[in-house]
A and B are shown apart, each in its own frame.
Chain A
Amino acid sequence: MAASGSLRVEALSKNYLPPGCPPVPVLHGVSLAFAPGDYVAVMGPSGSGKSTFLALLGCLDTPSGGHYWIDGDDVAGLDSDALSALRNRVFGFVFQGFHLLPRATLLDNVALPMLYAGRSRRERHARAAELLAQVGLAGLERRYPTQLSGGQQQRVAIARALANRPAWLLADEPTGNLDSHTSGEIMAIFDRLNAEGLAIVLVTHEADIAAHARRLVRFADGQVIEDRPLDPAAATAESAP
């Protein structure tokens, strides 16, 4: 994708407005910058705002205050269609619950973002098959998500996230529903993708998963309390056995 995708947020805040109650602040005063190719783990206890932060970063939600620039462009000025285009081409999403469409084949699931990007049917199918092969699911194009294990479903979700060659992969607890062995396989794919230049922001509460990243951002009570580089060698050593 053309966008190199440097991301910067400043004094970002988000309030939830439960009906009939005073607004509940979830994030306040978050300022961070991410460079192309980054590999960032976001950690923090439940309710610390880390998932909300990821949703704001991926333009799934709009902030209550503060600024967000993608490649120097202020996101606040973009309309709904432009945000859709960003989600379609600049970001790829991987969720804890996989979120595949149950009635579509794996091939159609992976091809879906390309449908919204307006690519031809032939192009979509060729690329989707190639992506499924990349995540180790060659030959399963005609299967349905319910016929797969959790690990396989998450691989399909990763393939789908990569469909339009995004600059950023945003993952919210991608291994939260998986056993440790399968988690390791998924993280190996993430490591490889990052090595190939894809920037990754990964929300997790498992330290050994976070250890795959090169940078750790820790949230508590809606604020960043820690932001430090990680030693990639440690992660490699950890996942080696």
Chain B
Amino acid sequence: MFTTLIAEAMRSLGANTLRTLLAMLGMIIGVAAVVLMLAVGEGSRLRVAETIATLGRDILNIYSGTPAVAGVRTAAGSAPTLTRADADAIAQLESVQAVAPAHYGNTQLQYGGSNWSSSVFGSTPEFSEVRNWEVASGAPLDDGDLRTAAQKVVLGATVAENLFGDASPLGKMLRIKGQPYEVIGVFRPKGSNLDGRDQDDLVWVPLTAAQGKLFGNPFPGTVRFITVKASAESGKGVAERDITALLRQRHRLPADAENDFSIRDITASAESAAQAAQAMSVLLGAIASVSLLVGGIGIMNIMLVTVTERTREIGVRRAIGARRRDILLQFLLESLLICLTGGVLGAGLGVGGAWVAAEFFDTPVVVDLRTAVAAFGFSTAVGLFFGYYPAHRAAAMQPVEALRTA
């Protein structure tokens, strides 16, 4: 019985191909828009999530310098107050998992005839854990290197590629500010961050080497900043409170004095970017839904015209024994068929559009099973919702009145 009904519905729709296709076009565009927006929204959400993951979880940066001195806000780090001893003390806190004090500067790197300007981070062996830098080949710096201020370096992927090309840099000597450093490892690449800045453009040397040999230091023993990884149990909030209390005590600050350091949550900006991306995809989804709604109204319009045109047919069917629900089912099936076909074509178009966006505009997109389910669900819902009223009108006709229609 059902196959017969579907065949009948297809025959009716086929009898007016142009009209059916035009009605379908609204659905195709609507579903394509929804699918595309879902793919783009999910893509940007995932990109943000990945970026946050590369930054490391539960990370705080502590900079030296008062946030505001006598009403004048100075740049963080301008008055060095943080020391390695501070870092060691922070490391003892319960709410802190690991600490990496850092001293850094931008300078020229040189290997053979190649030059490359990059950020040189001097830090402790914890740097790789705290900043989530995995050493892909070779070895990380260790405590021995730190103690002896060894002239060893671990390269970011971008630096390795620019100085060494495809060749392995391990064991090679490169020059930093003219001093020879041995390459002992290369980091796994992270890609660019949300601002589009290349995160892999850096090198890592022992903190002691950076302080003592590369950048000097007018305030011996101080560091530019300290990166802290809060323990997973207590989280960033508790760690920030504990560190603030500890540093105020160590720096002997009176109760009414301001902090001479500032603590920043480096994932906070990434998280707000994530929220912005979320809001954007909700907005785009809403716009796409409007086009789906318009498509649905188009279907309703066509179905109402169809029902009016076929009043006599409805009368004949009722006269030979069709029940109201048979008529209802017949017209619902027709609108459902338009919507599902449109949904399938629209999903194809949306996926194609997502592919174009990914391929030619470098937009991150994610197309998965949920997209197909959403397209199917949306078109079914539209077909049923906007098909119901016309079908109900058809089913409600009195047989004799329907037959009397010319």
Residues of B within 8 A of A115 (CB): 1, 4
- Contact with B316, one of A101, A121, A163 (Cβ below 8 angstroms): A101
Residues of A within 8 A of B320 (CB): 87-88, 93, 112-113, 116, 160-161, 163
Any chain A CB within 8 A of the CB of B364? Answer: no
Residue of B nearest to A113 (CB): B320
Residues of A within 8 A of B313 (CB): 101
Residue of B nearest to A93 (CB): B319
Any chain B CB within 8 A of the CB of A99? Answer: yes
Any chain A CB within 8 A of the CB of B12? Answer: yes
Chain-A contact segment, one of B200-208, B216-224, B396-404: B396-404
Which B residues, 109 to 134, have Cβ-Cβ distances below 8 Å to chain A? none
Contact B319 A87 (CB under 8 A): yes
Distance (Å) between the CB of A96 and the closest chain B CB? 11
Residues of A within 8 A of B398 (CB): 61
- A116-B321 CB under 8 A given contacts A61-B399, A103-B12: yes
Any chain A CB within 8 A of the CB of B318? Answer: yes
Any chain A CB within 8 A of the CB of B312? Answer: yes
Contact B323 A116 (CB under 8 A): yes
* Interface residues on chain A, size class: 20 to 34
Residues of B within 8 A of A8 (CB): none
Which A residues, 70 to 99, have Cβ-Cβ distances below 8 Å to chain B? 80-81, 84-85, 87-89, 93, 95, 99
Question: CA–CA, A104 to B11, complex, Å?
Answer: 8
Question: CA–CA, A160 to B400, complex, Å?
Answer: 18
- Contact with B399, one of A60, A85, A104 (Cβ below 8 angstroms): A60
Tell me how many residue pairs across A and B have CB atoms closer than 8 Å. 68
Residues of A within 8 A of B3 (CB): 121
- Contact with A89, one of B8, B312, B321, B403 (Cβ below 8 angstroms): B321
Residue of B nearest to A58 (CB): B319
Question: CA–CA, A101 to B4, complex, Å?
Answer: 15
Residues of A within 8 A of B8 (CB): 104
Residue of A nearest to B323 (CB): A84
Distance (Å) between the CB of B64 and the closest chain A CB? 84
Any chain B CB within 8 A of the CB of A178? Answer: no
Distance (Å) between the CB of A54 and the closest chain B CB? 10
Residues of B within 8 A of A223 (CB): none
Contact B11 A103 (CB under 8 A): yes
Contact B316 A164 (CB under 8 A): no
Any chain B CB within 8 A of the CB of A20? Answer: no
Distance (Å) between the CB of A100 and the closest chain B CB? 8
Any chain B CB within 8 A of the CB of A30? Answer: no
Residue of B nearest to A81 (CB): B323
Contact B11 A87 (CB under 8 A): no
- In the A-B complex, the 7 residue pairs with the closest CB atoms: A88-B321, A61-B400, A84-B323, A116-B321, A60-B400, A113-B320, A60-B399
Q: A81-B323, A84-B326 are in contact. List 4 more A-B contacts (CB 8 A).
A: A61-B399, A88-B321, A101-B316, A104-B8
Selected A-B contacts with CB under 8 Å, 7 pairs: A58-B319, A81-B324, A85-B321, A88-B320, A89-B321, A118-B1, A121-B3
